[in-house]
Structure 1
Amino acid sequence: MENRQAICLVDDDLEILELLSGYLKQHGFVVSCAENGAALMDILRHSQPDLIVLDVMMPGQDGFVVCREVRKQWQIPIIFLSALGESMDRIVGLELGADDYIVKPFEPRELLARIRSVLRRKGNVPAPGRFREKGWLSFSGWRLDRAARCLQSPWGVTVNLSGAEYRLLMVFLRNPQTVLSRDTLMDLTQGRSTTAFDRSIDVQVSRLRNRLRHKDGEETGLIKTVRGDGYIWTADVRQESA
């Protein structure tokens, strides 16, 4: 019997829950619904879905708060739904550890495509033959603990990474000395392309650069801008032996 993937929808709008639930069930998913964050946490204590679709604008705890609570215990992929379409709102959502962000109104088939994209990325990480899923990666004196998703600097400081920072760093580490366009980085980290005015990937690169500064605050040069083309990771990367 086919093992169907499970989606949990979280929204205080019952009509949206009914519409999306029926649509996703028609496309082969097992769907559970929650009207708020508390109901979602009750579901997660008993079983964990393959992905959560989480509304941002909910009474009581909003989606951003709920996302923080989920991330304290689980690494289930999360797609935000929101009427807030400003780029900063998307950046906040992604920095909290969400895997994608869809602005309302939207077509159900767009949500379906985003869900499938996120689930494909979840199933395909890490790239076959490149790095083991756990263990340490090292570069220029830095060490990345993949299990804990944190960096150790050459001078012994531990740097905890957000979900967005970790995903972006892993894309660079899998593709050293390779120019990666903004579209490529957006697709590999978020499963979608950039728009003409979407600079969220530049903001994420800037934040990752700040994580990788020297002890004196100077930039390390590990991520360099290639004018008109994107970014390149300059350092060699190696997998440490267990």
Structure 2
Amino acid sequence: MSGSEHRPAIAIVDDDQDMSETLSVLLSEGGFSPVVCSRIADFLALGDPPPIDLALIDLRLRGESGLELAIHIRERYPLPIVMLTGVGDEIDKIIGLETGADDYVTKPFNPRELVARIRAVLRRSGTGPGRVTASSDISIKFGDKHVDLKQRQLIDPNGDEIPLTNGEYRLLEYFLKNPDRVITRPELLQELGTDMERYVDRTIDVLILRLRRKIEAVPSKPVHLQTRRSQGYVFQLNGQ
């Protein structure tokens, strides 16, 4: 690679100066351009939209809420989010999933794991080094909707985009490419790149619930994304 290779910009939203400095050095050495924000206001001051590729947010900001910032970002920008959590913050992790966070890293963290998680999220969102791009401009139709695989968009019957988080999109695309077969939770977690040992059941439950709200006419009675009790999930393109 040449010296002019794009270095993804990572916003570090953490009010702990020592932690921010540690993260900044770690990300710089990992090939990223860190942008330190000690407060939510610092992040908002970056611009609209902010000129970054991913937001790394501490859940426990003093006097502020990392979850509120995640919600703000998710409602406005297709920006990947990785959240830093403390040991035992299980409830916050679940709430964070519901706001659209793409992954979690628990403090104290392994430096290599953090960099690997960030790279994986960027790659899956289509913005980072080694990003996955569609080989051709194709779409997959199910019911009255379709997914544009090149643009990574879910389109409704009127031709309008239905916003998806990166996690929701990856889940839907995987189902669409593997229709009519039972897919287990461990398989889904492996595809999403989430910590399987700790978050298998609830992580998938939250993502499935959010996705059903966007693709099903009656989320409580899904015709496309169906549950197979004690087995996993199956996606039916025609909705039987």
In the superposition, the TM-score normalised over structure 1's length comes to: 0.77
> Any conservation in 1 of the 2:56–2:82 contact (CA below 8 Å)?
yes
Counterpart position of 1:178:
181
- Return the alpha-carbon distance in structure 2 between the equivalents of residues 218 and 228 of structure 1: 18
Secondary structure, in 3 states, of the residue corresponding to 2:141? strand
Measured after TM superposition, the shift of residue 194 of structure 1 is: 1.4
Aligned residue type for 1:143? K
Classify 1:211/1:84 alpha carbon distance in 2 versus 1 (closer, same or farther; 3 Å): farther
What one-letter code is carried by the residue in structure 2 that aligns with 1:208?
L
Matched residue, 2:197: 195
Match of 1:60 among 50, 59, 63: 63
Are 2:27 and 2:115, in contact at CA under 8 Å, matched by a contact in 1? Answer: yes
Contact 1:210 1:219 in 2 (8 A): no
One-letter amino acid of the counterpart of residue 138, structure 1:
K
Q: 1:13 to 1:193 in 2, by over 3 A?
A: closer
Aligned counterparts of 1:129 and 1:193: Cα–Cα separation in 2: 32
Contact 1:183 1:193 in 2 (8 A): no
SS at match of 1:195: helix
Q: Which amino acid aligns with 1:109?
A: R
Amino acid at match of 2:115: L
Change in 2 beyond 3 A, CA 1:111/1:145: same
Q: For 1:145 and 1:67, how far apart are their aligned partners in 2?
A: 25
The 5 Å alignment of 1:31-180 reads 31-45=34-48, 48-83=51-86, 85-123=88-126, 124=131, 127-129=134-136, 131=138, 138-140=141-143, 142-144=144-146, 152=156, 163=165, 164-180=167-183
Shift of 1:111: 0.8
Give the structure 2 partner of residue 240 of structure 1.
none
The 3 A distance-change label for structure 1 pair 55 and 86 is closer
Whether the 8 Å contact between 1:9 and 1:52 is mirrored in structure 2 is yes
The C-alpha deviation readout for 1:139-158, integer Å capped at 9, x for no partner, is 23x325767966758xx9x9
Distance 1:197 1:143, change over 3 A: closer
Deviation at 1:55, TM superposition (A): 0.7
Helix, strand or coil for the counterpart of 2:233? strand
**Corresponding residue to 1:223 among 222, 225, 231:** 225
Q: How far apart are the structure 1 equivalents of 2:147 and 2:199?
A: 34
- Please give the alpha-carbon distance, in whole angstroms, between the structure 2 residues aligned to 1:196 and 1:29: 28
Conserved? CA contact 1:85–1:103, under 8 Å: no
| Structure 2, unpaired ranges of 5+ | none
The reply on whether 1:12 has 2:19 as its aligned counterpart is no
Query: 1:172: Cα distance to partner?
Result: 1.6
Q: For residue 19 of structure 2, give the secondary structure of its aligned residue in structure 1.
A: helix
Residue 234 (structure 1) aligns with? 236
Q: TM-score, normalised by structure 2?
A: 0.77
Provide the rounded CA distance (Å) in 1 between the counterparts of 2:191 and 2:16: 31
**C-alpha RMSD of matched pairs (Å):** 3.3
Q: Which segment drifts farther, 22-31 or 178-187?
A: 178-187
| Secondary structure of residue in 2 paired with 1:54 | strand
Contact 1:7 1:32 in 2 (8 A): yes
Q: For structure 1, list consecutive stretches of 5 or more residues without a partner in the other structure.
A: 238-242
